[in-house]
Amino acid sequence: MRLSINRPAARFDYFSLGVAFCVAAPIAYVLFHSLQKISSVLGVYPAEMWVAAVLKTAGLMLGSAAIALATGTASAFLLHRYKWPMQKLWKFSAVIPLAVPAHLYALAALSYLDPQGYLQSFLREAGLNIYWDPKSFVLLCLTVGISLSPYCYLFMLGAMRRQDLQLEDSAKLLRPKARWLKGLWGLRLALLAPPAAASIWFVALDSFGNLGASVVLGQDTLMTLIYDTWTGLYSFESAISLSMVSLSVFGFLFFISSNKAMPQNTQRSWNKSKPKGKTAAFGFLFLGLFFLVSTALPLALFILQSFRQLTGPANLQRLISQLLYSTGLAVVVAMLCAFFGMLLVFNQHRLKTPRWLVEIGYTAYALPGLIYGVSIYLVYVAGLELFGLQQSILFSFLILLFALSAKFFAVSSKSVHSILSYQPAELMESALLLHKSWPHYFKCVFWRGTRPAWFSGSILIILEVLKEVPITMVLRPYGFQSLSTEVFDLTAEGFYGRASLPALALVCLGFLFLYLLDPESRDS
Amino acid sequence: MQQKANREPVLSVQNLCFSYDQKPVLENLNLEVFESEIFCILGSSGCGKSTLLRILAGLTKPSKGQVKFAKPDCKVGFVFQNYALFPHLTVFENIAYGLLESNKEKTKQRVDELAAQFEISELLSKYPSEVSGGQAQRISIARSLAPKPDLLLMDEPFSNLDAKQKSKLKPELLQKLRLANVPTILVTHDQEEAFDIGDRIAVMNEGKFVQVGPTYDIYHEPKCRFAAEFIGTGAFIDAAPSHDGKNIQTALGEIPMPKGCGATSNRKPVELFVRPEDLVHDDDSPDCLEASVVSRQFRGAHSIFRLRLVSGEEVYSLAPSHHLHKPGDKFKVRVELDHVLLFPKNH
C-alpha cells in the first residue's frame, strides 16, 4: 500500500460507516417499531407508576452520581496528595469496584442487613425487637454509587495529575491568609469542576441503565419496567415502547454531552508528603471505611458463605462451567473488540473520519444494556424470519457475541482515540515522509504507541463483560448462565447464601484481571 | 543606586542549603537584596535558581540556613515561568485575586490602574486562553504587583516569548519595575536579559553563587573560570609569566602583568581569557597579529570571527559585519586588552 504524499482530499471512511450502521441500525429499528406500538403502552401501566419510575430513575442517576463523585474525589485527593502507609492497598481498593457489579454489592448489603441477615439477627439476640426491610432506594443509590466510584476516582485523579501545580502556588502567595472557599479550596474546586461534571455525566448515564441492583433491591425504575415486560409480565410491544421512551430521554442526554479531551499541562510532579493531624485521622478513616465497604465486608461474606456451598460435586461442577463460560465469553469479546477496534481506529486516524461518524459507532456503549439487548433481539428475530431460519444455540451465541462487542468496543477504542488526540498532528506526517508505507506506519508507530492502551482496554472489556447482566439475560443461548447472571437470578429470588459462591468466583476473577492492569493504566 | 553600606537589606539569606533525595541542590548560599534593587540570578538550567526562588517565596522549606525579611509580614509577589494564570477567571478577576474583596471600589480602581500601566485595559473581560504570550506575561506581572508586595520574585519571565517580543517587553518591564519601586529578584538563564535588567547579578553554578556583583564587574572581572566562560564569549590561551614577573607571555605577545594578580604566584600553569572585543580587526596597523579565519557567526551589526593563531590556539574577534572574511582567509588583529584575566589552567 503505497502512500502518495501529495494526496487528494481524504477518502470517505466507509468502514466506520459500516460499523456505525451495524451498531445503530438495531436502535433505529426499535425506534421504528416503538412508534408503531406507542398507543398500546399508555394503558399498560397506571400513570403513577410511570411517574414513580421516572422519578426513581432520575433520583438514582443523581444519588449514585453524588455518592460516586464524593467517594471518588476524596480517594483521588487523598491518594494523589499524600503518602500513606500501605499506599498500594488503598490505591487498589479505590478501583476494586471496577471488578464488582452493583448487584453483588446489593447482595452483600442484603446478606448483612436483611431481617434474617447478620446484623438484625445479632440485634434481636441482643434483645432488640427489630425487623426492617433494607431494600430501599437509598441502599440502591449507595450500591450503584460505590460500584461506579472508580470512574469518578480515575477522572478526578487524571485531572489532578494534569493540573498546573503553579496555580496553587500562585493562590497561596496571593491570598496567604484566606481559608476554605476564599483560599486554596475555592481554587481547587473551581479547577476540578469540569472533570467532576464529566464524571457525574458518565456515572449518571451508567446508572440509568442499571438493572441488576434495581431488581435485587426491589426498586421500580424504567429499566426494571422494561425488563418486567420483556420477561412476559405484560407484553412484548410494551417492552419496545418503553425502550423508545428511555431512548428518547437518553438520546437527548447523550447528544448534548460533550467529549472534549482534557489539555495536558503537567509541570513538576507532586512531592507527596505524609499526612498529619486531622488530615491523617480523617483520611485513614475514609480510606479504611471505603476499603471495608467496597472490599473487605463483601469479600468476607462471600468467602464465609461459599464454604457452605462447596459441598456436593454438582455445585462445584456448575460453578466451574459458569466460570469457564464467563471467562471464555469475556476473553473472546475482548479479542474481537481489540481486533476490530484496532482496524477501525487506525482507519479513522488515517482518514480523519468526522467526529459525528465516530460517535455514532459508540452509541451502543452509551445506551443501557437492556435497551440495546432488546434492539439486537428484534433485529435477530426479524432476520431469522426474513431468511427462514430457526433459532439455534449457535446463532444465539453469535448474536450475544456481536451485541457485547458492539456495546463494549468503545472501552478500548475511546481510550486509544484519546491517546491519539494528544499526539501532535505532525507525527503521522513525519513518519510517512520518512517511510512511505501505511503498514510500516501501523507497525512501527501506531501499534507501538497504542499497544498499552489496547491491552488495558481489553482488560477493562473483560471486566465489563464479566459483570454484565442485561444483554446476557436477553440474548443468552438457552441454558447458559454466566457467573453474573447466576448471582442476579439467585439474589432476586432471595437465595443469598447460594449466590455467594458464584459471587466469590466472579470477584476473584475480576481481581485477577484488575491486577493485570499495570499501575499506570489503573490510574489513567 | 545608593551605596550598600547606607541601606538595610530587604531580604537577607544566610548559609542556605537544600537537598532533594539527599542530593545537594543549594549549598551555603548567602545573599542580600536592597530596596528598589533588581537583583538577577543567572545560571544554566538545573543549577538550582528556581528552587532558590521557591524557598524565598516560602513554597519550599530549606534544609538549613535562614531567610530573613526586614518586615515581619513581608508580602511576596511571584511571577511564574508559565505565568500560572487561573484559567477559569477573567483577566480582571486574575489581577484582582490577591486584593481584599471587602472594598470592591478600591479593587476595581487598583485593577484599572495596573491595567492602564501594563496596557491591558482592553483585555480585562477576556480569559487567559484568549490572550497572547506577551499579554499573559504582563497580566501575570500586574497580578503579582496588585497586592503591593514588599518583594517581587520572577522566574524566567521572558522564557516563553520570542526574540521580538522579548526585545520589546524588556525595557517596558524595567521601566514599570522602577516605577513600582519594588525590590525584585529575577531568575534567568539568558545573559542578555540579566545585563539589560539587573542592577546586580549573581552567577550561579551547581547550587552555589560563584560571583555576585554589578553587571560590569561580572562581565569584565569574572572571579573564576566558570564565570568567565559562562558570561559572554571568550577563549583561553596559554600564558606564562616572564622571568622578571612583570609581563605575561602569550601567543598574542607580551602583556603587562596585572597588579595583585594571584593566579601566577604559585608558579602553576595559567591561561589568559580573551574576549572578542579584546582583539580588534585591523588590516593596516604594523603591530597587528596575523591569524586565519576558522568560522564566522553573523550577528547583525557585527560578526564574531573564530580565529586560529600561529600557535594553533583559537580565539574570537569582534568585527563589523560588513567584513566578509571566509574560513581560511588571513585576518589581522590588534590586541587591546583592557582587562587581563588570568586563571589557573584546567587539566
Nearby residues of A12 by Cβ (< 8 Å), 6 or more positions away:
A351
Q: Does A352 touch chain B (CB under 8 A)?
A: no
Cβ pair A166:B84 closer than 8 A = yes
A277/A281 Cα distance (integer angstroms)? 6
Pairing of strands B184-188, B151-155: parallel
Q: Which residue is it, cell 403502552?
A: A41
A465/A403 Cα distance (integer angstroms)? 11
Q: Which residues pair with B154 in a beta bridge?
A: B79, B186
User: What is the least distance, in Å, from the CA of B144 to any CA of chain A?
Assistant: 7
What SS3 state is found at A82? strand
Rounded to the nearest 10 degrees, how much is the dihedral formed by the CA atoms of A228, A229, A232, A233? 70
B151/B156 Cα distance (integer angstroms)? 16
Measured between CA atoms, the residue of chain B closest to residue A167 is: B84
User: What is the least distance, in Å, from the CA of B83 to any CA of chain A?
Assistant: 8
Decide: residue B186, CB within 10 A, 0-12 exposed, 13-18 middle, 19+ buried: buried
In terms of Cα–Cα distance, which of A476, A441, A150 is closest to A329?
A476
Can you list the residues of chain A whose pLDDT is less than 50?
Answer: 1-9, 258-268
Query: Can you list the alpha helix ranges (DSSP code H) found in A177-295?
Result: 184-208, 212-216, 222-230, 236-255, 277-291
- Residues of chain A in contact with residue B88, where contact means CB-CB under 8 angstroms, are 190-191, 193
What pLDDT shows up at residue A78?
92
> Three cell numbers at A108?
452483600
Q: Does A394 touch chain B (CB under 8 A)?
A: no
What pLDDT shows up at residue B8?
85
A329/A408 Cα distance (integer angstroms)? 13
Q: CA angle B119-B125-B130, nearest 5°?
A: 80
- Residues of chain B in contact with residue A191, where contact means CB-CB under 8 angstroms, are 87-88
User: What is the least distance, in Å, from the CA of B290 to any CA of chain A?
Assistant: 47
B288/B334 Cα distance (integer angstroms)? 5
Pairing of strands B235-241, B208-214: unpaired
> Do residues A57 and A221 make contact, with C-beta atoms less than 8 angstroms apart?
yes
What SS3 state is found at A19? helix
Nearby residues of A421 by Cβ (< 8 Å), 6 or more positions away:
A261
What SS3 state is found at A100? coil
Q: Does A197 touch chain B (CB under 8 A)?
A: no
B309/B252 Cα distance (integer angstroms)? 8
A328/A324 Cα distance (integer angstroms)? 6
Q: Does A267 touch chain B (CB under 8 A)?
A: yes
Pairing of strands B302-308, B270-274: unpaired
Residue A425 one-letter amino acid: A
Q: How many CB pairs under 8 A join A and B?
A: 45
> Three cell numbers at A476?
443468552
Cβ pair B86:A167 closer than 8 A = yes
In terms of Cα–Cα distance, which of B45, B35, B19 is closest to B185?
B35
Written in H, E and C, the secondary structure of chain B is: CCCHHHCCCCEEEEEEEEEECCEEEEEEEEEEECCCCEEEEEECCCCCHHHHHHHHCCCCCCCEEEEEECCCCCCEEEECCCCCCCCCCCHHHHHHCCCCCCCHHHHHHHHHHHHHHCCCHHHCCCCHHHCCHHHHHHHHHHHHHCCCCCEEEEECCCCCCCHHHHHHHHHHHHHHHHHHCCCEEEEECCHHHHHHHCCEEEEEECCEEEEEEEHHHHHHCCCCHHHHHHCCCCEEEEEEECCCCCEEEECCEEEECCCCCCCCCCCCCEEEEECHHHEEECCCCCCCEEEEEEEEEECCCEEEEEEECCCCCEEEEEEECCCCCCCCCEEEEEECCCCCEEEECCC
- Radius of gyration of chain B, Cα coordinates, nearest whole angstrom: 24
Identify which of A170, A172, A187 has the shortest CB distance to residue B80.
A170
> Three cell numbers at B132?
497572547
A313/A319 Cα distance (integer angstroms)? 10
What pLDDT shows up at residue B298?
92
Q: Which residue is it, cell 553554578?
A: B205
Distances in whole angstroms, Cα of residue B344 to Cα of each of A499, B205, B234, B260, B338: 84, 18, 16, 15, 20
* Total residue length of chain B: 347
> Do residues B333 and B279 make contact, with C-beta atoms less than 8 angstroms apart?
yes
> Do residues A498 and A486 make contact, with C-beta atoms less than 8 angstroms apart?
no
User: What is the least distance, in Å, from the CA of B138 to any CA of chain A?
Assistant: 15
A229/A41 Cα distance (integer angstroms)? 11
What pLDDT shows up at residue A261?
33
For the entire predicted model, the pTM comes to: 0.78
A507/B200 Cα distance (integer angstroms)? 67
Q: Does A182 touch chain B (CB under 8 A)?
A: yes
Handedness of CA A332, A334, A335, A339 (dihedral sign): positive
In terms of Cα–Cα distance, which of B272, B257, B291 is closest to B341?
B272
Crossing angle of the two packed helices A47-81 and A222-230, in degrees rounded to 10? 120
Can you list the residues of chain B whose pLDDT is less than 70?
Answer: 1-6, 100-101, 260-267, 347
- In a mutational test of the B interface, the residue from A174, A260, A270 whose CB has the highest number of chain B CBs within 10 Å is A174
What pLDDT shows up at residue B244?
80
Q: Which residue is it, cell 581560511?
A: B328
A143/A137 Cα distance (integer angstroms)? 10
User: What is the least distance, in Å, from the CA of A267 to any CA of chain B?
Assistant: 10
Handedness of CA A306, A307, A312, A313 (dihedral sign): positive
Residue B312 one-letter amino acid: G
Q: Give me the interface pTM, i.e. the ipTM.
A: 0.70
Cβ pair A167:B57 closer than 8 A = no
B201/B178 Cα distance (integer angstroms)? 17
List residues of chain B with CB under 8 Å from any CB of chain A.
54, 57-59, 75-78, 80-82, 84, 86-88, 97-98, 101, 143-144, 147
Greatest pairwise CA separation for chain A in angstroms: 86
What pLDDT shows up at residue A75?
93
User: What is the least distance, in Å, from the CA of A270 to any CA of chain B?
Assistant: 13
Cβ pair A175:B97 closer than 8 A = yes
DSSP state string for A227-260: HHHHTTSS-HHHHHHHHHHHHHHHHHHHHT---P
What pLDDT shows up at residue A295?
87
